[in-house]
Structure 1
Amino acid sequence: MKIRSMAAVLAASVLLPLGAANATDLEVTHWWTSGGEAAAVAELAKAFDATGNKWVDGAIAGSGGTARPIMISRITGGDPMGATQFNHGRQAEELVEAGLMRDLTDVATREHWKDVIKPASLLDSCTIDGKIYCAPVNIHSWQWLWLSNAAFEKAGVAVPKNWDEFVAAAPALEKAGIVPLAVGGQAWQASGAFDVLMLALAGKDTFYKVFKDKDADMAAGPEMAKVFKAADDARRMSKGTNVQDWNQATNMVITGKAGGQIMGDWAQGEFALAGQVAGKDYSCLPGLGVTDVIATGGDAFYFPLLKDEEKSKAQEVLASTLLAPATQVAFNLKKGSLPVRGDVDLAAANDCMKKGLDILAKGNVIEWTDQLLSADTQKQKEDLFSEFFANPSLTPEDAQKRFAEIIASAD
């Protein structure tokens, strides 16, 4: 891709003069609109504004599934924003191949991203044909079961230590008028919960066989049948959730209306905003208390090619600012995610974040479905599990058959 050469990225101590000299507004689109997410975005905006430029917030309400088509339409339609959030992986692949996104290789080289971004798979997911097209900002792992300590106390049962104990506690929760498992109505929530069950119960090798190798026989086999049985349990336990957004489901756990929720570590932002303390008010089970493995998916910012020279310079400053150590700490503490830099101090991390950091330090990580599957395959999977959770007449056996068909044609 032929683009304008990037200017040298200055050290953090001189970013302010650079930004002030070339101050401009830069629209940044994203789908972070819950209370905890908004607090985290404010940290990014504050850091960028401190350079003398201006973060113009382009939040799009709803999930990524709602926001991404709007973002893509603007870029392909000739109305690009200054920067936009995607999950690092394959979501922007076609935009890059069409020559619509900016090559950040010069910035990444000058600032030694390959040396400080850990694990390396994060930057690999931003790399196409040897060029880097995005700035990863966090590590988000889906593999968590969040539990309301108050709900289990009310039900008279101990807080579970793993998935089986959680399933066993469901009748007591229901008797106490508590929904055992909160699952919101958005398709990605049901699909994500299934993926978490799959990794925890079938293991890393099976997960990779299915999603990385696209092994349809494995997808149709007995190991996956166990996962579909667990998904059927989850479906039964989630009956009565009656909310749409993920953060509404998280709020059910915060308020003790639900016993637990399978959700990514971004849920921590909602607990923090509600003033709840990890280990006291709520508990967390990475890998559902079964498998100490977390995914290294997450969020990144991509930069569409712009004709405006001043805004192009501001893009460079923003890319640098997002990866600055201070920004990484401030943002991720609010977001509930882990930093992409391996050289920052997270002494202020809560108990649940520390569990994630320990797993990350041990190298027990895995690529997630955003990195392994195309957007089209992801959509097919989401549609299937949205129907599965909403329609009790769709049997686990029939759902598994359809799942295997999706994997057989996956790209």
Structure 2
Amino acid sequence: MKLSTKLLSATAICAAGSAGAVDLEVMHWWTSGGEAAAVTKFADAWTATGNTWVDGAIAGGGDTARPIMVSRIIGGDPPAAFQFNHGRQAEELIEAGLILDITDVAEAEGWADIVSPTSLMDSCTYDGRVFCVPVNIHSWQWMWLSNAAYETAGVPVPTNWAEFMETAPAIREAGIVPLAMGGQPWQQNGAFGVMALALAGEEAWRAVNVDKNSEIVMGPEYTAVFEAFGEARELSNGLSVQDWNQATAAVIEDTAAAQIMGDWAQGEFALAGEVAGTDYSCLPGLGDVALLDTGGDAFFFPVIDDPEVQAAQKELAALLLSPEVQVAFNSAKGSLPVRPDVDLTTVNECTQKGLDLLAAGATVPAGTQLLSPDTTTQANDLITEFWSTPAMTPAEAQERYAAIIADAD
């Protein structure tokens, strides 16, 4: 198959259907400095087609933005496009017939052949039809470390979780917070998920998240995770921030030694002029289990009863996966492209680590692909309660988490 030919023909079809300039409102929650720089790459590419990107950014992250987006859609005032994560977040909207079927674009573009891993297209497919376009691969499985913080403390930069814990007292003695953590539930639950995969191991993690095996939650592998998470919460004392990028800023400013956060943090490091390997280090899988969860972002397009708008929506869908746009956006975002046929020879060493893991097939599905939004919300609420309640024991949190998994859908 000649992808370039398919791309040109599909784009021509879409462009022909939207011959006039079209304004498309695009809703998303990319509002930090690095995120805003990345989404501008999409907006600039769309503007270059003669159309207009009407930016509908919502501050506060996905937990804040998703209800607003859903309300707009079911209320009859939908945007032309909106960002959700890969996975099950849009299932009910699709079932209600509120999301545009873009199977024709996916087939014309050959997405089934160029999007990797295949789980990303699976997440956009419902009853054999395609309803979204995946635009990146984001993985939670990273720890970011300030090289200067460890130099100040006189200890080596850790290469795994055990070394991180061993160096934490020296970091604290140097007046630096060992672990930066924001105040939003998704951040704490995300960090817990990283620790679960790294410390319990892939087999136990899959048993819990894929098979929904609550007995494994109560086993020794997850006991170790809950105990480690209980220890970690003490390491964040001394830093009170809410947003994830504020926690990342503490690592950039060397007032915190480390942060467990997805690879979108790299957008903040890049914006601050930080150099991977020189100013900061990165540990996939906390240095213990080098796997990436293949989460990320996708764009969905609400059904709008206007042929011109629908044609423009499909034109935008094709554009988002074009090679040039994939390189520009993901290079700025700190994420990995969903198509492996693009040139990323200039990426930094942390992104290269991610690309190497992706090429080796060292991946697992993301939680948003495995757990329903309701189950995820329950887990968020429990883990943030555990994080912020020193009186709650690891054993108590473990038992309640097992109950959530037992009822997971």
- TM class by smaller structure: over 0.9
Tell me the residue number matched to 2:372. Answer: 374
Q: 1:269 to 1:11 in 2, by over 3 A?
A: farther
Q: Report the 3-state secondary structure (helix = DSSP H, G, I; strand = E; otherwise coil) of the residue aligned with 2:150.
A: helix
The superposition leaves residues 268-299 of structure 1 with CA deviations (integer Å, 9 ceiling, x where unpaired) of 00000000000000000001000111011100
What aligned pairs does 1:116-265 form with structure 2 within 5 A after superposition?
A: 116-265=114-263
Within the candidate set 79, 82, 102, 1:81 is matched to 79
Give the CA RMSD over aligned residues. 1.4
Q: Is the 8 A contact 1:278 1:352 kept in 2?
A: yes
Structure 1's 17 and 107: CA in aligned 2 closer, same or farther, altered over 3 A? closer
Q: Which amino acid aligns with 2:77?
A: D
Q: 1:334 aligns to what? A: 332
Match of 1:69 in 2: 67
Deviations along 1:106-155, whole A, 9 cap, x unmatched? 10000000000001000001111111110000000000000000000011
Paired with 1:125 and 1:68, the residues of 2 have a C-alpha distance of: 17
Which amino acid counterpart does residue 408 of structure 2 have in structure 1? A
Q: Deviations over 1:152-181 (max 9, x none)?
A: 001110000111100111101111110000
Mind listing any 5+ residue stretches in structure 1 that lack a counterpart? 1-7
Mean alpha-carbon deviation: is it higher for 207-216 or for 142-151? Answer: 207-216
Letter in 1 for 2:118: A
Deviations 1:183-233 (A, max 9, x none): 100000000000000001111111111011110111111110000011112
What is the aligned partner in structure 2 of residue 29 from structure 1? Answer: 27
TM-score (norm 2): 0.97
Q: Which of residues 54, 61, 77 in structure 1 aligns to 2:52?
A: 54
> What amino acid is aligned across from residue 212 of structure 1 in structure 2?
V
The offset of 1:21, in angstroms, is 2.2
- Distance between the aligned counterparts of 2:177 and 2:13, measured in 1? 50
Q: What is the match of residue 110 of structure 1?
A: 108
Deviation string 1:238-260 (CA, Å, 9 cap, x unpaired) is 12220000000000000000000
Which of 301, 315, 318 is the aligned partner of 1:320?
A: 318
8 Å CA contact 1:228–1:396 kept in 2: the answer is: yes
Deviation at residue 9 of structure 1 after TM alignment? 7.0
- The alignment of Structure 1 onto Structure 2 pairs a total of residues equal to 404
CA contact (8 A) 2:290 2:362 kept: yes
Unaligned runs of 5+ in 2: 1-5
The letter of the residue matching 1:320 is: A
Is the CA contact 2:135–2:338 (under 8 Å) kept in the aligned structure 1? yes
Q: Which amino acid aligns with 1:92?
A: A
Q: Contact 2:15 / 2:312 at 8 angstroms: preserved in 1? A: no
CA contact (8 A) 2:171 2:257 kept: yes
Give the match for residue 395 of structure 1.
393
Aligned match of 2:3: none
* Alpha-carbon offset, residue 15 of structure 1: 8.4
- Which whole-Å CA distance do the structure 2 matches of 1:17 and 1:116 have between them? 22
Identity among equivalent positions (%) equals 61
> Distance between the aligned counterparts of 2:175 and 2:219, measured in 1?
37
